């Protein structure tokens, strides 16, 4: 049996799930959710819906009118979709980023399973945030959300390094104000040279290392990697980035973002279906996707 296809025949009781964003042709989400439907015996089908700029509100309203059970949201709409929702989960409201919509009376409730999925993946990999000193690379949308996650999960401090120091400082001020403690420090990318000589957890939240920049890392200096005990790259394709290779060459553990991708999908599926996906089922999804890279 090909687990990437729904087990049940599409009929009058089939519920629809989907992904809205632009572009969406590259997405792996249909494989994740149609496989989960097969594994869990659910009569569901998941498809991507490209949404042009300016059509987001109409797309969300139309999906609700058509009784679409739930949606994932990808770039560039994770922040804009906040204005289209009936309800917002507190975590999503705090980080101002939504990637999962769940049908409720009158519309959709927005959640952020990217960050809860990342935390679940890191926990399974034995990577802690509580009391940890973290070097976070990148202050874009993903880096900003990860800064919130680190602060909310009790990181002792987060050194937020970014090409634009001004942007890093702005994100740090925002996170510290919302969380209520001064734990995020915005710095330039080169400021790693000034950090105390100890061992850190580094989270790589930029797009450097993805196609077409496969042979690049956001920091190239081997001295940086000697500061790390663990490197966590949120990129999942390719399966091993230059950042990860340099971590391993310096004796640090290295992880990619595939398990985060799996668990953000798992948590969305659980919300849509009011169910629990087993660890074994999640591992099946991980094995299936890891064969792709």
User: What CATH number should be reported for the domain holding residue 29?
Assistant: 3.40.50.10860
Catalytic residues: 78
CATH number at residue 246: 3.40.50.720
In a domain, 4, yes or no: no
Q: Are 24 and 7 in contact (CB under 8 A)?
A: no
Range of the domain at 44: 15-111+259-290
For residues 125 and 246, state if they share a domain: yes
For residues 57 and 189, state if they share a domain: no
Total structural domains within the chain: 2
For residues 218 and 275, state if they share a domain: no
The C-alpha angle with vertex 291 and arms to 43 and 202, in degrees rounded to 5, equals 105
From first to last of the 293 residues of the chain, give the pLDDT tens digit: 344 444 558 999 999 999 999 999 999 999 999 999 999 999 999 999 999 999 999 999 999 999 999 999 999 999 999 999 999 999 999 999 999 999 999 999 999 999 999 999 999 999 999 999 999 999 999 999 999 999 999 999 999 999 999 999 999 999 999 999 999 999 999 999 999 999 999 999 999 999 899 999 999 999 999 999 999 999 999 999 999 999 999 999 999 999 999 999 999 999 999 999 999 999 999 999 998 87
The C-alpha angle with vertex 8 and arms to 7 and 10, in degrees rounded to 5, equals 130
Tell me the three state secondary structure of residue 248.
helix
pTM for the whole thing? 0.92
For residues 140 and 192, state if they share a domain: yes
Element containing residue 254 per DSSP (H, E):
strand 253-255
CB proximity list for 82: less than 8 A, separation 6 or greater: 88, 92, 93, 96, 98, 110
For residues 40 and 54, state if they share a domain: yes
Instruction: Compute the distance between CA of residue 217 and CA of residue 242 in angstroms, rounded to an integer.
Output: 6
């Amino acid at each position: 049996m090909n687990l990437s296809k729904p087990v049940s025949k599409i009929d009058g009781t089939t519920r629809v799930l989907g992904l809205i964003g632009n572009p969406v042709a590259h997405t792996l989400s249909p494989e994740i959710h149609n496989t989960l439907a097969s594994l869990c015996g659910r009569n569901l089908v998941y498809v991507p819906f490209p949404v042009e700029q300016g059509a987001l509100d109409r797309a969300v309203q139309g999906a609700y009118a058509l009784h679409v059970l739930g949606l994932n949201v990808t770039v560039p709409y994770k922040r804009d979709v906040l204005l289209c929702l009936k309800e917002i989960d507190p975590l999503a409201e705090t980080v101002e980023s939504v990637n999962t919509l769940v049908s409720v009376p009158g519309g959709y409730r927005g959640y952020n399973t990217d960050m809860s999925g990342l935390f679940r993946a890191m926990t399974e990999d034995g990577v802690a945030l509580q009391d940890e000193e973290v070097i976070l690379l990148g202050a874009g949308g993903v880096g900003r959300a990860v800064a919130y996650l680190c602060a909310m999960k009790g990181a002792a401090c987060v050194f937020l390094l970014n090409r634009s120091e001004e942007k890093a400082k702005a994100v740090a001020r925002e996170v510290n104000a919302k969380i209520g403690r001064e734990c995020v420090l915005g710095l330039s990318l080169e400021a790693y040279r000034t950090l105390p000589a100890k061992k850190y957890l580094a989270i790589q939240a930029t797009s450097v290392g993805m196609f077409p920049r496969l042979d690049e890392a956001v920091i190239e200096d081997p001295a940086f990697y000697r500061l790390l005990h663990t490197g966590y790259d949120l990129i999942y394709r390719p399966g091993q980035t230059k950042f990860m290779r340099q971590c391993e060459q310096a004796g640090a553990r290295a992880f990619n973002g595939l398990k985060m991708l799996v668990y953000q999908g798992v948590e969305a599926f659980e919300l849509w279906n009011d169910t629990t996906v087993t660890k074994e089922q999640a591992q099946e999804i991980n094995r299936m996707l890891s064969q792709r890279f």
